[in-house]
Amino acid sequence: MTAAATAETAAETAAARPSAPPAAAPRSPYLVSPAYDWAFFLLPPLLAFLVGAVIAGTPFSEKRFWHDGRKITSAALLSSVLTHAHLVAVFWRSHGNADLRRRYPLRFFVAPPLLFAATMLSDTVALCTTIVVVFWDVYHSALQTFGLARIYDRNRGNPPEQGRKLDLWLNHLLYAGPILGGATMLDHFRALESFEDVGATLFATIPAHMEARHRVITGIVLAAGTLFLAGYLLSYVRLHQRGYRVSPQKVFLLVTTGLCSLFAWGFNSFGQAFLIMNLFHAVQYLALVWWSEGTRFRKHLRLDGLRIGAPITIALFLGSALAYGVLAEKAQVEQRALWCMAQTVAIMHFWYDGFIWSVRRREV
C-alpha cells in the first residue's frame, strides 16, 4: 500500500469515528484581565515605591501639623486612612454575601460584638488585641501576595500543591525578613512596650533586647534568607524540569514586591515605609473585593440595569471605606469606644481573610 493510500485510509477511519468534544479553552494567565491585573495587582508595588520616592523630602512627608491633638504629616495621615479603609472593606465581602452569611453566622454576627465588649471591659484584652493587630498585619500582608501568586500559578495550569509551601515561606521571608533585620524593626516591636502598663514587664523589655541585638538578628536573617532563596530557585528549576510552567505574572509580582519590601521595610529608603507598603496593599485588596463582589453589590443596590450602575456602586464602595478610614484614623487610646471599634475591625479583617480568601476555595 502506498503512502497516499495509507493516509487516505486513515482519514476515512478517523471520519467514521465519533467526533471528539472540543478542547476546553485555555485559561487566561490573568486573574481578571491584562489591564485590570497590571493596574491593580502587578504594578502597585512599584508605583507605591515611586510615590514614596517622589514625596520624600517634600512638605507632604515632612511638614507636621496638629490633627486631633497630635502632630502628624500628610503622608502619615494618608497611610493611616488607607489602612483603615481597606480593613473595613472585608465586610462588603463577608456580610454583603448572603451565601457566606448563612455559612458563618457566629463568626459574622456574634464574634465582632463579643470582641468589642471584651476590649471595652478589659485593659489587658485591649492591649493584647492591639499587639496582635501589629504582627498579624505582617502575616496577613504576606498571604495576600501569596494568594495572588498562587492564582497566577493555577492559571498557568500548574497543580495547586506544586510549589505551594515554597511560595508560602518565600512570602513570609519577603515581608518579615526586612522587618526583622531592617530599619523599621523597632517601629513594629515598640508596641510591646505597652505591656508595662498592665504589669507584664517581661514582654515590655523585648524591644530593648531586640534593639541591642539588632546586628545579630540582621546577620541571621541575611544568612537564612540567602540559603532559602538559593533553595527556592533550585527547587523551582527541578519543578520546571518535571513540567512546571513558569508564570511571568507571578515572577514579576514576587520580584517587585520583594524589592519593594526590602527597600521600604529594610532600609526605609525614603522614610515612607508604612505609606509605601500600606498603599499598594490597600489598592490590591480593594481591587480584589471589587472584582469578587462588584456584580453582587450592584444587584443588592438594584443598579445592575443602569448604565451608570457600576460608577455609582464603585463610588459607594470606595466612599464608605474611605469614610470609615477617616473616622478610624481619629481613634486614640483615650477614645476607648472608637479605639476598640478600630481594633475589632482589624482583627475581623485578618480573621475573615483567613477563611474567605483562599485559592483552594470556590469563592475565589
Mean pLDDT over the full length of the chain: 87
- Looking at the structure of the chain, the number of domains it has is 1
Q: Is 26 exposed, middle or buried (0-12, 13-18, 19+ CB in 10 A)?
A: exposed
DSSP calls for 310-347: HHHHHHHHHHHHHHHHHHHHT--TTSHHHHHHHHHHHH
pLDDT for the residue numbered 344? 96
CA distance 191 to 213: 18
- In this prediction, residue 25 has a pLDDT band, given cuts at 50, 70 and 90, of low
Mean pLDDT of 107-136: 93
Domain assignment present for residue 224? The answer is: yes
pLDDT for the residue numbered 333? 65
Domain assignment present for residue 22? The answer is: no
Domain assignment present for residue 118? The answer is: yes
Name the DSSP letter for residue 190. G
Domain assignment present for residue 356? The answer is: no
Quick one: residue 249, left, alpha or beta (phi over 0 = left, psi -120 to 50 = alpha)?
alpha
pLDDT for the residue numbered 358? 58
Q: Kindly state the percentage of the chain with pLDDT values over 90.
A: 65
Domain assignment present for residue 103? The answer is: no
pLDDT for the residue numbered 332? 75
- Least confident range of 61-65, 97-101, 116-120: 97-101
Q: Is 284 exposed, middle or buried (0-12, 13-18, 19+ CB in 10 A)?
A: buried
Domain assignment present for residue 291? The answer is: no
Range of the domain at 253: 112-271
pLDDT at 13 over 50: no
Reported as type and span, the H/E element at residue 65 is: strand 64-67
pTM here? 0.87
Domain assignment present for residue 350? The answer is: no
3-state secondary structure of 117: helix
- Least confident range of 42-56, 85-99, 326-340: 326-340
Cα–Cα distances (Å) from 174 to 3, 16, 171, 177, 258, in that order, read 60, 58, 5, 6, 5
Mean pLDDT of 172-192: 90
Domain assignment present for residue 301? The answer is: no
Return the exposure string of 213-248: e unless at least 16 CB atoms fall within 10 Å of the residue's CB, then b: ebeeebeebeeebeebeeebeeebeebeeeebeebe
